[in-house]
Amino acid sequence: MRKNFGPKAYMYPQPVLVISSYNEDNSPNTMVAAWGSCADYDKVAIYIAASHKSMDNILNRKAFTVSFADVAHIKQVDFLGIVSGHKDSEKFAKSGLHAERAENVDAPIITEFPVALECEFESYDAEAELCIARVVNVSAEESVLDADGKIDLVKLNAVVFDTVKHSYIAIGDRVGKAFSDGKNL
């Protein structure tokens, strides 16, 4: 017996994106977005409310970075997702995280997160509140690379967002090989 939940855009899993940009005074600001995705091979599409400080920053600097929330930093990430830089200019400092300048875009990278997408702003649909950006570089710490030098999602220990229960879920083990496991059927 199936239960109906009506018209909800439930999507499993939703990422927990950590979006960092520079304030006017060059201090970092970071927000969290679970309504985001890749769009094409070198673009990201993220729903960012126009009311967020991050959106002002992104429109000013035409850049931001995206990292991925991990199990080790749940509390810091959640804090960055519930406090606005509009209300607290010390928000990032209070999170206890550290930032360094991205090499290729005018935006900070959070040191504690091993993978960062350096994004160049492309467009913002103010009605849909959808931001599109081009990824100009991805950098990753060696700690999350496998023996072949590729980013290993299991090592990243990223979390996903459960929109129904408003919670963070750790990603589990590798259970299959894409474009391969289905070949035998």
Ligand X SMILES: Cc1cc2nc3c(=O)[nH]c(=O)nc-3n(C[C@H](O)[C@H](O)[C@H](O)COP(=O)(O)O)c2cc1C
Q: Which residues bind ligand X (CB under 6 A)?
A: 16, 29, 31-36, 47-49, 52-54, 78, 81-86, 161
Order of strands, sheet of 14-15, starting from the edge strand that comes earlier in the sequence: 14-15, 159-162, 167-170
- In angstroms, give the least distance from the CB of 32 to ligand X: 4
Q: Closest residue to ligand X, Cβ-based?
A: 81
By the 10 Å C-beta count (0-12 exposed, 13-18 middle, 19+ buried), 39 is classed as middle
- In angstroms, give the least distance from the CB of 168 to ligand X: 7
d(CA 12, CA 80): 23
> By C-beta, is 53 or 115 nearer to ligand X?
53
> By C-beta, is 136 or 169 nearer to ligand X?
169
- In angstroms, give the least distance from the CB of 70 to ligand X: 14
> By C-beta, is 82 or 170 nearer to ligand X?
82
Neighbouring CB atoms inside 10 A of 131's CB total 25
d(CA 138, CA 128): 27
- In angstroms, give the least distance from the CB of 83 to ligand X: 5
> By C-beta, is 76 or 135 nearer to ligand X?
76
Query: Whose structure tokens read 């810091």?
Result: 76
